[in-house]
Structure 1
């Protein structure tokens, strides 16, 4: 998998997570007695737990996406795309693994699993940076 394909799939994953917590809000507002503007910015979050976890998984994606996209683009600009292409699929898999474990549960074992997937991504991005400057 190329780095560019991994970036596109990463974007698709983030969009799916966004829809998983944003889309259910429409019927809740239309039929569930919730106001359209009733979405936690100024009040306590009353969303179902899965929607809260989906939003958290999406926000977790946002934290690493700029870094991952940057190393993919920088590698291409340096004519060193193979450096990132070799690990891009693993970085994406770790991101999806982190998101899925976030969606499943907030139990300590799943939080540890999420942290492991996160640290794997950070480590691989550091490794790509090292390889690009070495």
Structure 2
């Protein structure tokens, strides 16, 4: 898998996560269960726990995406795409794994597993940066 394909799949994954918490809000509002403005950031969150976890998983994706995308683009601009291509699928897999664990539970064991997936991504992105520099 190339870095560019991984970036595109990362975008698809973020969109799917966003839909898991945004889409259920439409019927809630249309059926009168919730006011359309109930989802402002300043309001108390009354969403079901799965939707809260889905939003957290989506926001976690957003934190690493610019770094990963930047490394992919920089590698391409340096004509060193193979450096990132070798780890791109693993970085994406760690991101999806982190998101899935986030969706499943916030129990301590799951939080540690989620952190492991996160640190794996950080480590691989650092490794790619190192390989691009040397």
TM-score, normalising length from structure 2?
0.98
Task: Report runs of 4+ in structure 1 exceeding 6 Å deviation.
Answer: none
Q: Which residue of 2 aligns with 1:51?
A: 51
**Contact 1:40–1:46 under 8 Å retained in 2:** no
TM-score, normalising length from structure 1?
0.98
Alignment of 1:33-48 (within 5 A): 33-48=33-48
Structure 1: which 5+ residue stretches go unaligned? none
Q: Which residue of 1 aligns with 2:65?
A: 65
Q: Which residue of 2 aligns with 1:98?
A: 98
Structure 2: which 5+ residue stretches go unaligned? none
1:9 counterpart = 2:9: yes
Q: Which residue of 1 aligns with 2:119?
A: 119
Aligned mates of 2:41, 2:10 — CA distance in 1: 26
Aligned residues between the structures: 134
Aligned mates of 2:32, 2:104 — CA distance in 1: 25
Give CA-to-partner distance per residue, 1:34-77, whole Å, 9 cap, x none: 10111142221000000000000000000000000000000000
Aligned mates of 1:16, 1:42 — CA distance in 2: 24
Aligned mates of 1:72, 1:42 — CA distance in 2: 35
Give me the CA root mean square deviation: 0.7
Aligned mates of 1:71, 1:39 — CA distance in 2: 34
Q: Which residue of 2 aligns with 1:79?
A: 79
